[in-house]
Amino acid sequence: MIDKSKSVKCFSEAQKFIPGGVNSPVRAFKAVGGQPLFIDSADGAYLRDIDGNEYIEFINSWGPMILGHKNPMIQEAVIKAVQGSLSFGAPTAREVEIAELICSMVPSIEKIRMVNSGTEATMSAIRLARGYTNKDKIIKFEGCYHGHGDSFLIAAGSGAATMGHPDSPGVTESVAKDTITLPYNDLEVVEGILVEASDSIAAIILEPVVGNMGCVLPVNGYLQGLRELCDKHNVLLIFDEVMTGFRLSRGGAQELFGVTPDLTTLGKIIGGGMPVGAYGGKKEIMDLVSPSGPVYQAGTLSGNPVAMSAGMAMLNHLNENPDIYESLEATTKSMAEGIRSNLNDLDLNYTINTIGSMFSLFFTEKPVVDFESAKSCDFDLFGKYFNEMLNEGIYLAPSQYESLFVSTSITTDMVDKVVAANKSVLASLLK
C-alpha cells in the first residue's frame, strides 16, 4: 500500500479551516469516495504528493498544462516578468502583444478583453450579449459547465423547459427565470424555443465540445445548425472555449469544426498555469465594453504582467508548433485503442469518447451524447477504478464527469503503463 499519511493529516487539518478542505470542490475526491492527495510539486507528466509518491497525471491542472509541468520556456518568461514587479494596474505592451496573438490564432476574435478566470469570462460575455441585443434570457445546455456565475447554476425546469430553477442555494429565482436549460445535441428543442421566444433570448452559450460531463462531442451538423438558428432568430452564439481553446487546435473547436461564434470565452491554457480568462469576438460587439462602450466590466489584476508573460510563452509555442496537436492526438488515440482492446478482451462494452487530447472512458454501454446518457454510468464502479488506478501510480480525473487531458509530456512508455494498469484494474474489479 502507498503511504499517504501526510496527505491524510493535511486533509484533516484543511477541513478545520477551509470548507471541505479544498479551494475548489472536485479536488476533494468526493465523487470517487477517496482522500485527496496534497501535491508538493510536479515535473513533466508527473505529480509528486507531500508523501513523496509520484503519479503519471491526466488532469493538467484541469487543462492549462498542455505542455506538461515545469516547461522551461514558461518558467523563464514568468521569472523574467517577476523581476519587473508583480502588478502595475496600468497598461503594458505585453497585453497588446497577447491580444494581437490571440486575434490572429482565433480569427472570430477581433477584439478581446482579459479577465482572471473562466468564470469571469462567461459572466462578462453574457452581460455583453444582453447589452448588445437588449434581451434578457440565455440558453445553456445540461451538462455544460460555464463556471460558477449565478446565471449558469440553473437546472432545467420541468415540462416545457421554459423556466429554469436555481441549482444552488443563493441563486435567486429571479436570476433563474432568465436562464433556459436544454439538452445538448438536440437542435429541434432549440429551434422550438427560438420560434416561440427569440424576442427575449440574447444568446446561446455552449461548450462546442463538452469536457464537463466527460468528453462529449457535438453530433454532425449540431454546431452548424446552432449557428444557422442564431442567425435566423437574431440571437448571439457564444462558444465557451475555456477548455477547448488552444487544446483542440490553435484556433480551438471553432477552427476544428469550421463554425464561427459571435463571442468566445477562453481560460485555462491561455494563462499557461496562471489565473487568466478572456472573452472576445466581433469588433462591433466588443466595442460596447467599457470604457469604449456602456457595458461595464473591470478587474484590478486583469492583464496581470506575470500571467500575460506565462500566457504569451504558452501561446507563442503552440502557434509556432502546430504539429503538437497531431502528436497529442496520436498519443490519445493510442491510449484509447489500447483501452478499447482491453475492454474487448474483458467482454466489456463501455463507451470511449475522444477528440484531440481529450478522452473519457464512460462506465456505460450507451453512447454518451448528452447529460442524460452520461448519467447512465456506473459511478460506483468508476470510483473504485479511479482509486485502484491511483494505487498503480496513475492520477485520473476524480469524477466520471471530467475529461482526461493528455499533455505533450506523456510518452509511449507511459501510455503502455496506463493501458496495462487499466486492464489489470478492470479485471480485478469485475471478478
Ligand X SMILES: *Cc1c(COP(=O)(O)O)cnc(C)c1O
Show which residues are catalytic.
145, 240, 268
* Residue from 58, 145, 279, 371 binding ligand X (CB under 6 A): 145
- Report the alpha-carbon distance of residue 127 to residue 130 in Å, rounded: 5
For residue 291, whether the previous peptide bond is cis, meaning omega lies within 30 degrees of 0, is yes
146 near ligand X, rule: CB under 6 A = yes
Query: Read out DSSP for 40-67?
Result: EEEEBTEEEETTS-EEEES-GGGTT-TT
Given 181, 212, 302, 309, the residue binding ligand X (CB under 6 A): 212
Please name which of 33, 56, 154, 32 lies closest in space to residue 404, comparing C-alpha atoms: 56
> Is 59 one of the binding residues for ligand X (CB under 6 A)?
no
Asked if residue 117 binds ligand X (CB under 6 A), the reply is yes
| Shortest Cβ 125–ligand X spacing (Å) | 10
Window contacting ligand X (CB under 6 A); options: 39-47, 94-102, 207-215, 366-374: 207-215
Q: Is 132 in the site for ligand X (CB under 6 A)?
A: no
Considering the complex, state which of residue 49 and residue 207 has its C-beta at the smaller distance from ligand X. Answer: 207
Q: Is 141 in the site for ligand X (CB under 6 A)?
A: no
Q: Which of 122, 151, 331, 357 binds ligand X (CB under 6 A)?
A: 122
Among 245, 267, 305, 383, binds ligand X (CB under 6 A): 267
208 binds ligand X per the rule CB under 6 A? no
CB of 242 to ligand X, least distance (A): 4
Please tell me whether residue 247 binds ligand X under the rule CB under 6 A.
no
- Please tell me what DSSP assigns to residue 28: G
Binds ligand X (CB under 6 A): choice among 147, 208, 261, 281: 147
* Residue 339, H or E segment: helix 323-345
C-alpha cell at 419: 493501458
**Residues 7/33/340/377 CA torsion (nearest 10 deg):** -150
Which residues contact ligand X (rule: CB under 6 A)?
117-119, 122, 145-147, 207, 211-212, 240, 242-243, 267, 277
